[in-house]
Amino acid sequence: MPSLIDIRRRIRSVRNTQQITKAMKMVSAAKLRRAQDRVIASRPYSATLRSLLGDVAAAAGSDEHVAAHPLLARRPEKRIQLVLITSDKGLAGAFNSNLIKAAQRFAEEHRPAETDFLLIGRKGRDFFRKRGVPITGEHTGMAKVQHEDARAIAGQLMDRFRNEEIDAVYLLYNEFKSVMAQKVTLTHVLPMELPKKDEPVDFIFEQPPLDMLASLLPRYVEIELYRALLESAAAEHAARMTAMDAATSNAADMIDTLTLYMNRVRQASITKEIIEVVSGAAAAE
């Protein structure tokens, strides 16, 4: 049976851990609010840009040069680029493990094609570094998502696709649904599939539709990657806030259990001392 000192030390340790998890929950809650606002603001822009691409593609549909655009070229997927977006820090529940399992499953399902990994986030990088997979890029320290970062990464992806070093680009990340739910999402980015318009387009374009399409396609790839980074950041804060809330509650339950156990041990110790005193007094008589 542990002594009272050991139990008190354990209670003190759990209480200190509870203070840490409570503080981390509050920090994540504060960051989640800002990250959520950025995600909500980015979604309409991405949807509108995709709709605009559909209108421009429909207007330029009669031009035979549309299908020849480098970002629309379709080839057999012999070499695939997978962009995996994880977090730099842990303590976020199953946030990173779900993504890593999905990435491994993706590589297995697309064999015999070779899957190149572009890893954003320290957790995914540390895991796949030890697995001997082909890694074409690593990016860490991107907790504060900037559009310039997404533009640079998207530029590298588009260059590799134009040069036929890769035949397809996929994004794998956690999409923010709510504070309690994050969805592992796989998005096919390149070659881009233009949305089809059922109704005829009746627009007057200042520039030729083909020129507009050529300028909008790279912008759309950048926005898709930027939105994925924003979604991942918001989902990470939500997952960490939920995990730290559960950890705080578990710590409270453990403190209650240890306190009850400590009281029982103390009561048994006092009872034992009383019995010894009474026995000693009876023996003295």
Q: Average per-residue pLDDT in the chain?
A: 83
Calculate ∠ Cα 233-235-240, nearest 5°: 95
Mean local confidence (pLDDT), 139-167: 85
Greater confidence (106 vs 276) lies with 106
Res. 170 pLDDT band, cuts 50 70 90: very high
What percent of the chain is modeled with pLDDT above 70?
A: 88
- pLDDT over threshold 60, residue 200: no
User: 50-84: per-residue pLDDT in tens?
Assistant: 877 777 776 666 556 666 677 777 888 888 999 99
pTM score, two decimals?
0.82
Q: Do 29-242 and 4-22+243-280 have the same topology in CATH? A: no
| CATH fold label, 4-22+243-280 | Helix Hairpins (1.10.287)
> Could you give the percent of the chain with pLDDT greater than 90?
7
Q: Which of 8-22, 86-100, 182-196, 227-241 has the lowest mean pLDDT?
A: 182-196
For the cut 90, the answer to whether the pLDDT of residue 172 exceeds it is: yes
**How do the domains of the chain map onto residue ranges?**
4-22+243-280, 29-242
Residue 133 has pLDDT above 60, yes or no: yes
Indicate the CATH number of 29-242 among 3.40.50.1100, 1.10.760.10, 3.40.1380.10, 1.10.150.50: 3.40.1380.10
pLDDT given for residue 171 in this prediction? 92
